Amino acid sequence: MSKDLEGGVWDALKTIRYPGMSRDIVSFGFVHKVTIDGSTATVELEMSTHNAEAAEAVRQEVEKAANGVPGITATSAVLKLQQPAKRQAAQRSIAQDPGLLPEVRYVVAVASGKGGVGKSTVSANLAIRLAQLGHRVGLLDADIYGPSVPTMFGISRRPATDGQTVEPFEKYGIKLMSLGFMVEIDTPVIWRGPMVMKALEQLLGQVSWGALDYLIVDMPPGTGDAQLTLTQRVPLSGAVIVTTPQDVSLIDARKGLAMFRKVNVPVVGIIENMASFACPHCGEVTHIFKSGGGERTAQLVGCRFLGSVPLDPAIAEGGDAGEPIVVTEKDGGPHADAFKVLAEAVMAEVESPPTPQLTIV
């Protein structure tokens, strides 16, 4: 009997969504335990979030939903809020300087084995989408070879500085910094190792990022020394790998994955970009490259498949015009939706405790 009641309560909880998200609280792993005593249910919730109000709203909804289960007459939902920073601290490697970015909760790198797969496009849209979901977000363009944040955000000025610290730009609700703001974009930048380090340290340590929930780092392409150094210097919570469905790109993605694992940076998952093309005339969806490659690679290397982004001229145009697609579609649209799914998947992977076991009492 109590098992049936417990099952009923779990089912009821699966209908509750965390505010602003499209996934339910059970699949997010927020429900730690359900116990039944007679007709009384106790639900233990564990969330790692800075948003105590949203967590409390969920707690109240849980009580209401469980009380609606036939046979349950009273429910007490207990909320345990965890410090999201804990997990991040544990994941930082010793080579990283804890003094860099002390006020940033999660630093997430967006990387790829090769250039041109849409790393910057994904970084920008992901960052803005996270901000639209209520987070405090920064975007650091660390692509020393081809910075693209100035173009993607339509900013060609130099940032303000008092000689000590540099003020990040703010646009579309996020803070922005790029080496492209410091050097002439048309000048080919030839960086030697020590210069890269110095420039990056300045971008991390001397920019007034302030308190942030997420700092998205648009990494340079490839898996060379610069990238390796960066993964060791930046206190990363995890890395997102962007790939296109082509074989060659997937092989590169696997190289990138191996690199992060070598330096103990957890891989958040794989994002497949330019996955499909919907014909603007007839709506037929064509998989320009092979379909499902990102998902297969994710399975093969044992990491999460975070989702895919279609190939669409509107996405490229948004980037060129200084208005990323999620800004154009801020009231909803297919691409904004795709990036919402990605943002939620990244959040779930970076913030949530592991999925709890269902305990039968």
Ligand X SMILES: Nc1ncnc2c1ncn2[C@@H]1O[C@H](COP(=O)(O)OP(=O)(O)O)[C@@H](O)[C@H]1O
Binding site for ligand X (CB under 6 A): 112, 115-121, 148, 221, 273-274, 309, 311-312, 315-316, 319
- Name the minimum Å distance from CB 315 to ligand X: 4
Q: How many Å apart are CA 143 and CA 153, to the nearest integer?
A: 15
Decide if 218 contacts 143 (C-beta within 8 A).
yes
Residue 125 interacts, among ligand X, Mg ion, none and using kind-specific CB cut-offs from 5 to 8 Å, with: none
Residue 116 interacts, among ligand X, Mg ion, none and using kind-specific CB cut-offs from 5 to 8 Å, with: ligand X
Our CA angle for 178, 179, 181, nearest 5°, is 75
The footprint of Mg ion on this chain (CB under 5 A) covers a number of residues equal to: 4
- Name the minimum Å distance from CB 146 to Mg ion: 6
Residue 36 interacts, among ligand X, Mg ion, none and using kind-specific CB cut-offs from 5 to 8 Å, with: none
Q: CB-based contacts of 114: which residues, under 8 Å, 6+ apart?
A: 221, 222, 248, 249, 252
Closer to ligand X at the Cβ: 8 or 221? 221
Instruction: Give the residue, chosen from 75, 96, 125, 148, that forms a contact with Mg ion under the rule CB under 5 A.
Output: 148
Instruction: Identify the DSSP state of 159.
Output: P
Closer to ligand X at the Cβ: 221 or 235? 221
* Nearest alpha-carbon partner for 108 in 348, 353, 311: 348
Closer to ligand X at the Cβ: 137 or 338? 338
Task: List Cα–Cα distances, 351 to 108, 162, 346, in angstroms.
Answer: 12, 35, 8
Residue 316 interacts, among ligand X, Mg ion, none and using kind-specific CB cut-offs from 5 to 8 Å, with: ligand X
Q: How far, rounded to the nearest angstrom, does the alpha carbon of residue 58 sit from its chain's CA centroid?
A: 22
- Name the minimum Å distance from CB 156 to ligand X: 17
- Name the minimum Å distance from CB 74 to ligand X: 51
Q: How many Å apart are CA 212 and CA 136, to the nearest integer?
A: 5
Residue type, 116: G
What are the E-state strand segments in the chain?
31-37, 40-48, 74-82, 104-111, 137-141, 169-171, 174-178, 212-218, 238-243, 267-273, 277-278, 285-286, 305-309
* Nearest alpha-carbon partner for 6 in 72, 60, 68: 72
Q: How far, rounded to the nearest angstrom, does the alpha carbon of residue 343 sit from its chain's CA centroid?
A: 5
Q: CB-based contacts of 277: which residues, under 8 Å, 6+ apart?
A: 285, 286, 287, 288, 310, 311, 312
Closer to ligand X at the Cβ: 8 or 118? 118
Closer to ligand X at the Cβ: 98 or 334? 334
Residue 141 interacts, among ligand X, Mg ion, none and using kind-specific CB cut-offs from 5 to 8 Å, with: none
- Name the minimum Å distance from CB 249 to ligand X: 10
- Name the minimum Å distance from CB 305 to Mg ion: 22
Closer to Mg ion at the Cβ: 8 or 319? 319
- Helix or strand or coil: residue 316? helix
Decide if 125 contacts 339 (C-beta within 8 A).
yes
Q: What are 292's two structure tokens?
A: 């499902």
Closer to Mg ion at the Cβ: 48 or 273? 273
Residue 273 interacts, among Mg ion, ligand X, none and using kind-specific CB cut-offs from 5 to 8 Å, with: ligand X
- Name the minimum Å distance from CB 118 to Mg ion: 8
Residue 293 interacts, among Mg ion, ligand X, none and using kind-specific CB cut-offs from 5 to 8 Å, with: none
Interface with Mg ion in residues 108-147 (CB under 5 A): 119-120, 143
Closer to Mg ion at the Cβ: 148 or 273? 148
Residue 237 interacts, among ligand X, Mg ion, none and using kind-specific CB cut-offs from 5 to 8 Å, with: none
- Name the minimum Å distance from CB 48 to Mg ion: 31
Given the rule CB under 5 A, which residues bind Mg ion?
Answer: 119-120, 143, 148
